[in-house]
Structure 1
């Protein structure tokens, strides 16, 4: 890995000391610059969990990715900088109140003096890492989050419409990247996977979020939402270039 190129990709110019402040700033910079997107799936580009290949895609080709790609590559960067990082398996909350399959999401545990949940691959995620402590309301960029421990499980909640909604649950069992490959393949091939059903490209902003969801452009700023319909593929590709820095014709 060319660490300097990765840091340039996420527009990071701060300290490289492996401490909490560095972690917070790297995490925020990553979310503000690298989109959560599943475009490879709809371009028939297989996603293999190989760190060198992911580095080429995300850093050299200026692309984004989904959780398996973004969090695994971010963990590699953190390890190169001297952080202690563990890959964790998470189960994503479903609308029926249950949680999905094991390895449905890849998230990160970073150990400093305390344990921190880091996640740059969940779409609408927290800008700064969350301290791993139960029942504490944590406010990040005017958004409210909470972690609750139940037996060996931790549940991540986000506050929406004045009440907390579960987003995913996880344990602290260390995982290897290869453990996620079968579910990664499922999510990019199964008709039941949300990732095969529609194109998504979304990125955090300091004021909110910008999202391409199939033929819709959604911009949220300071709690105000604007929704536009995209008429042509050319318009779609222009938004990708102008708002996300993604040129699908770029190969290297």
Structure 2
């Protein structure tokens, strides 16, 4: 990622010119990203192919001020961190289903950043940790998003738990962004993918969270959830504009279900 793109990316997340690659800077960039760049799967329902290429991701997330899902968000964030001097590696993870079973390999992409300590960094999992999680830390880690625990799994994997519930199991082997392309395609096209069966656009706010799924606007403030139905396409477009900062020339059609983060 060149210097000009880095400056535009930092402007996108409202970050000042960075200093040395420290944990304080990493925490700041992580939180700003979560609050400015939404977790969304609109491209799948708008018929926009998701291309795991830095130039395509910069165009979508930085220039068009859109969001994306894990491969896009963590894939591009890795490029920013590396350009700023952070040793960032992409990791593959299998996500736990609500029934407690594991999804397929490459189901999720996250990052490991090695500083004085090692950290798991994830700006692409929706409602998750606000700050990086220490990897080699056996005790619970308090976070605005909940209480997190990182425990050893089989074969060198690590398991991330939120408030006692397993979220995903991550491999230790570093991956290239291109390694996620086949599963990214499956997520976009398979009727079994929850991304093809749901529609969501969601980001963290200083008070909680805001989510738009179809014509339903859900806000959470201090743990209190409020839901309202928007009346008409103009109101939905205005919600994307005011809450997420981008324009849509057409709205995605409603899928069969919705995901609320």
The counterpart of 1:81, out of the listed 70, 80, 84, is 84
Identify the residue that residue 157 of structure 1 maps to in structure 2: 161
CA contact (8 A) 1:14 1:22 kept: no
Q: Tell me the equivalent position of 2:128.
A: 125
Number of the residue aligned with 2:257: none
State TM-score, norm by structure 1. Answer: 0.94
Question: How far 1:228 sits from its partner (Å)?
Answer: 1.1
Normalised by the length of structure 2, the TM-score is: 0.91
Q: Secondary structure at the match of 1:146?
A: strand
- Post-superposition shift, 1:14? 5.4
Match in the other structure for 1:244 = 244
Q: CA deviation at 1:230?
A: 2.5
61-70 or 10-19, larger mean C-alpha shift = 10-19
User: Deviations for 1:16-39, whole angstroms, at most 9, x for unmatched residues?
Assistant: 311111101000000010000011
Moved more, 125-134 or 179-188: 125-134
- Stretches of structure 1 that go unaligned for 5 or more consecutive residues are none
Match of 2:209 in 1: 209
Paired residues, what number? 246
Structure 2: runs of 5 or more not aligned: 251-261
CA distance in 1 between partners of 2:23 and 2:75 (Å): 19
- 3-state SS in 1 of match to 2:184: helix
Runs of 4+ more than 4 Å apart: none
Equivalent position to 2:102, from 95, 99, 102: 99
1:191, distance to aligned residue in structure 2 (A): 1.0
- Which whole-Å CA distance do the structure 2 matches of 1:4 and 1:142 have between them? 29
Contact 1:31 1:203 in 2 (8 A): yes
Aligned partners of 1:62 and 1:16: how far apart in 2? 24
Q: 2:48 aligns with which of 34, 45, 49?
A: 45
Q: Give the conservation status (yes or no) of the 8 Å contact 1:36–1:123.
A: yes
1:42-78 superposed Cα distances (whole Å, 9 cap, x missing partner):
1100001001110011000010000000000000000
On the 8 A contact 1:134/1:149 being kept in 2, the answer is no
Match of 1:148 in 2: 151
Partner of 1:174: 174
Root mean square deviation, CA, Å: 1.4
Aligned residue in 1 for 2:195: 195
